[in-house]
Amino acid sequence: MAAKVRSAYVCQNCGASFPQWLGQCSTCKEWNTLVEEVQDRVLEKRGVPNSVRDRKPKPIAIADISSDSGPRIPLGDRELDRVLGGGVVPGSLILMGGDPGIGKSTLMLQTALRANGLRTLYVSGEESEQQVKMRADRLNGENSTVDCFVLTETNTQNIFKQIDALQPGLVIIDSIQTLHTAALDASPGSVGQVRECTSELMRYAKTTNTPMVLIGHITKDGAIAGPKVLEHMVDCVLQFEGDRDHAYRLLRPLKNRFGSTNELGIYEMQGSGLAIVEDPSQVLLGDRGLRPSGVCVAATLEGMRPLLIEVQALVSTAVYGTPQRSATGFDLRRMNMLLAVLEKRCGFRLGQKDVFLNLAGGFRVEEPAIDLAVVVAALSSNADIPVPMDVCFAGEVGLTGEIRPVTRTEQRIAEAAKLGFARMFVPKGTKGLPTNSGIEIVPVSRVDEVLGHLFG
């Protein structure tokens, strides 16, 4: 057994350190702020190659630094590669966060199985080898000759030993919350352990140039692995999200030191793993037959990707005294604001109405360009007049009922044209509108104007 690395409990609020854990920091009097941290980094450095340990960095003229970002390793999953910025960078550390059960293990195991030509190591601290194998069989039916190894181990020092022996091209850790380092006494999953294990993995990845993916569960408050601390340590943070009752999953980069965070990957959870969705708008629009009232299509943008989404509204007279308002996939306060605009500026009496709003496919849209579609859907339901099914909308609605320009309108138009829409309402004053997009573009400046066009 190696000599113990010295550790101490450090208050995250004031920085005071204590030899043992206390519920309250006796210096700043804050509660539950003590986290175990490694104090002595010298002992830990054993095992790191001499070349690295003895490196003495000197300033280099910026002109002399090669701008070559180095090779990227494609992982064979088109969406994942794109989200990472064109494959994984050697020696990079990627944190993949998401709710439990959303499909993180599935995505990473299938990546490990399909990373063509790459030897992969899947370290599982949550499941046994048999469980991983059963899942692998599901994901990879016929192909059994892949160079993928499974290790069920949670001690970081042992994991490094195994990586040294195996020399994989990609390591997946499932999950960071199950790991523990002998340097600390705290239990796995605690802030101190998660942070220290991540920093050990980081150093290992950098010194051996092995790319690693850490899977982390998101806690209720939405922070990855409880402490947000991991986010600034790693090179990339990917968030895997979606509605568990729906099949669609989004892979979103929250941070990427080697690429853009405007990318988006879309998958569908199937019986045999996660399949890439080839044409997301097509899927989201569902049946384009006769539409009832209260339904219309918004041309939204997820990252850089145009996405046509069906917005459904149901407006009916409130049966009980207080009207109910509920929104799924859309901010409720924003919906209330839009309804107030309709009431005040356009003279619609919605005050005594129940309003329910829903976005198809379990998607969540934050961008304001969806406003116009929300407003149209609500009014269509209120008046019980269907919106023609070959029309779509993009525009932010302001407090005076004006329609304000949105970003990348051309891209939205192109997507709508591709899907065969005949007419699209866009904010007046949008610059650089295409002239021959094959779709009739109707510039509008006020909500009432749209209603005139649609409902006469």
- Comparing CB distances to Mg ion, the nearer of 114 and 412 is 114
Give the closest residue to 364 by CA, choosing from 315, 302, 409, 304.
302
Taking the least distance from each CB to ligand TYD, the nearer of 122 and 393 is 122
Using the contact rule CB under 5 A, the part of the chain among 105-113, 148-156, 355-363, 392-400 near Mg ion is 105-113
Picked from ligand TYD, Mg ion, none, the partner binding residue 210 (CB below 5 to 8 A depending on kind) is: none
- In sign, the C-alpha dihedral spanning 371, 377, 382, 383 is positive
CA torsion sign, 367 to 373 to 379 to 382?
negative
Q: Does 192 bind ligand TYD (CB under 6 A)?
A: no
Task: Using the structure block, give the residue that is written with the tokens 């309402």.
Answer: 425
Reference 395, options 435, 424, 433, 427; nearest CA is 427
What whole-number distance in Å separates Cα of residue 430 and Cα of residue 424? Answer: 13
Neighbouring-strand partners of residue 238? 96, 253
Q: How many residues bind ligand TYD (CB under 6 A)?
A: 15
**Interacting residues of 24 by C-beta distance below 8 A, sequence separation 6+:** 30, 31, 32
Q: Write the interaction track for ligand TYD spanning residues 202-241; mark x where CB under 6 A is met and - where it is not.
A: ----------------------------------------
Cβ 136 to ligand TYD, closest distance in Å?
9
Pick between residue 112 and residue 369 the one whose CB is nearest to ligand TYD: 112
Query: Which among ligand TYD, Mg ion, none contacts residue 321 (Cβ within 5 to 8 A by kind)?
Result: none
From the list ligand TYD, Mg ion, none, pick the one residue 269 interacts with, judged by a Cβ distance below 5 to 8 Å according to partner type. Answer: ligand TYD
The strands making up 295-302's β-sheet, listed across from edge to edge, are: 325-328, 353-359, 305-317, 295-302, 391-393, 423-427, 440-444
CB closer to ligand TYD out of 244 and 453: 244
Helices (H), 255-331: 280-285
Residue nearest Mg ion (C-beta atom): 105
Place of tokens 């989004």: 250
| Phi and psi torsions of 115, nearest 5° | -65, 90
Strand partners, 326: 356
Count of residues that bind Mg ion according to CB under 5 A: 1
User: Is the torsion defined by CA of 72, 78, 81, 86 positive or negative?
Assistant: positive
- Between 87 and 126, how does the x/- string for binding to ligand TYD read (CB under 6 A)? -----------x-xxxxxxx--------------------
**Are 39 and 183 spatial neighbours (Cβ–Cβ below 8 Å)?**
no
Contacts with ligand TYD, 235-274, as mask; x by CB under 6 A: ----------------------------------x-xxx-
Q: Closest approach of Cβ 126 to Mg ion, in Å?
A: 6
Residue 194 or 376 with smaller CB distance to ligand TYD: 194
Spell out, one character per residue from 406 to 425, where the chain touches Mg ion: x when CB under 5 A holds, - when not: --------------------
Q: Which of 92, 105, 120, 256 binds Mg ion (CB under 5 A)?
A: 105
Residues numbered 130 to 189 that lie near ligand TYD (CB under 6 A) are 135, 138-139
271 binds, among Mg ion, ligand TYD, none (CB under 5 to 8 A by kind): ligand TYD
- If we measure between CA atoms, which residue out of 378, 391, 384 comes closest to residue 444? 391
Binding mask 312-331 for ligand TYD (x = CB under 6 A): --------------------
For strands 396-397 and 403-404, give the pairing: antiparallel
Tokens of residue 298, six digits: 């918004």
Rounded to a whole number, what is the distance in angstroms from the first to the last CA of the chain?
82
Closest to ligand TYD by CB, 101 or 438: 101
Closest CB 338 distance from Mg ion, rounded Å: 39
Least gap, CB of 108 to Mg ion (angstroms): 9
Choose between 271 and 289: whose C-beta lies nearer to ligand TYD. 271
Q: How far is the CB of 109 from Mg ion (least distance, A)?
A: 9
> DSSP alpha helices (H): ranges in 324-408?
332-346, 371-383
Q: 3-state DSSP helix/strand/coil percent for the chain, to nearest 5?
A: 30, 25, 45
Burial (CB count within 10 angstroms: exposed 0-12, middle 13-18, buried 19+), residue 207: middle
Q: Which residues pair with 96 in a beta bridge?
A: 215, 238
Interaction site with Mg ion (CB under 5 A)? 105
Interaction site with ligand TYD (CB under 6 A)? 98, 100-106, 135, 138-139, 269, 271-273
